[in-house]
Amino acid sequence: MNRQVAAGDGVFEAVKVVGGRPFALDLHLQRLARGAAAVGLPLDANAVRRQVAAALAAEHLERGRLRITCTGAGETAVTAAAMGEQAATTTVVTAPWPRNQRSPLAGLKATAYADNVLALAHARERGAGEAVLADLAGHLCEGTTANVFYVVDGELRTPTLATGCLPGVTRALVLEWYGARELDEPLDHVRERASEVFLAGTVRDVQGVSRWDDRELPAPGPVTREVRQVWASREPELLGF
């Protein structure tokens, strides 16, 4: 067993597949390269592209997900699996543990994933689809598998990367295609004041939140619906190699 597998210090990417074509592959490979460099792992992006093409040729996915895992010198694995349509809405609970924005792994899609597994299990035990975390300062940070956007006073907002949240590909595209204010606010403040909330991630795309802890929310709200419409219209631009 190599050091990366034993210690869990590899990096990975999840890439959506639509009609047999990868979505935003360049952006995912750029983030994978940054993550690999951060933990001292070599990465041959061209070799990964060839692995992606081979995996897609073998699976013939209409809708699915690729997982690209880099675990050591020359050891990169690509797996493909079918994926069903995601529900338009979900529910979230607040995780009892914070995200450590001072960690050297903050903002990386690292295979050392136990904290996210525990937080998501906490949510599932309470009948929710996702757990939302604060950073050490109590500011809203992210979900275990998605970034968080919310609306206050008619303005779409999302936490800054300083909270330690993942620099999500979907997050970046929502900011580019629709726009939002990056702002750090206390999680409790957001939960109490937000008129709508949505999650943004590779598997979810843009998914409205209908309940956060005990607070019911309109979902998908009007801003969320607009973002979903923009997403649907622009997604084809980034399909393929």
Asked whether the CA dihedral 6, 7, 8, 9 is positive or negative, the reply is: negative
| pLDDT-based confidence at residue 83 (cuts at 50, 70, 90) | very high
**Cis? peptide before 104, omega within 30° of 0:** no
Residue 72 has pLDDT above 80, yes or no: no
State residue 6's pLDDT score. 45
pLDDT, tens only, 186-199: 999 999 999 999 99
Residues in the chain: 241
Q: Residue 240 domain-assigned?
A: no
Quote the mean pLDDT of the chain: 95
Q: Using CA of residue 50, residue 74, residue 64, residue 208, what is the dihedral sign?
A: negative
Whether residue 241 is contained in a domain is answered as: no
Please, what's the b/e burial string for 178-205 (b: 16 or more CB within 10 A of its CB; e: otherwise)? Answer: bebeeebbebeebbeebebbbbbbbebb
Per-residue model confidence (pLDDT) at position 152: 98
Q: What is the pLDDT of residues 113-167, one digit of tens each?
A: 899 999 999 999 999 999 999 999 999 999 999 999 999 999 999 999 999 999 9
Query: Residues 212, 114: one domain?
Result: yes
The pair of structure tokens assigned to 25 is: 């592959």
Residues 69 and 107 in one domain: no
pLDDT surpasses 70 at 7: no
pLDDT number for residue 1: 46
* pLDDT tens readout for residues 41-58: 999 999 999 999 999 999
Q: Is 149 contained in some domain?
A: yes
Give me the CATH number covering residue 14.
Answer: 3.30.470.10
- pTM: predicted TM-score of the whole model, two decimal places: 0.94
Q: What's the CA dihedral at 24, 29, 34, 38 to 10 degrees? A: 130
Q: 121 with 36, same domain?
A: no
Report d(CA 63, CA 21) in Å as an integer. Answer: 9
With respect to residue 24, please indicate whether it lies within any of the assigned structural domains. yes
Q: What domain range includes position 28?
A: 3-82
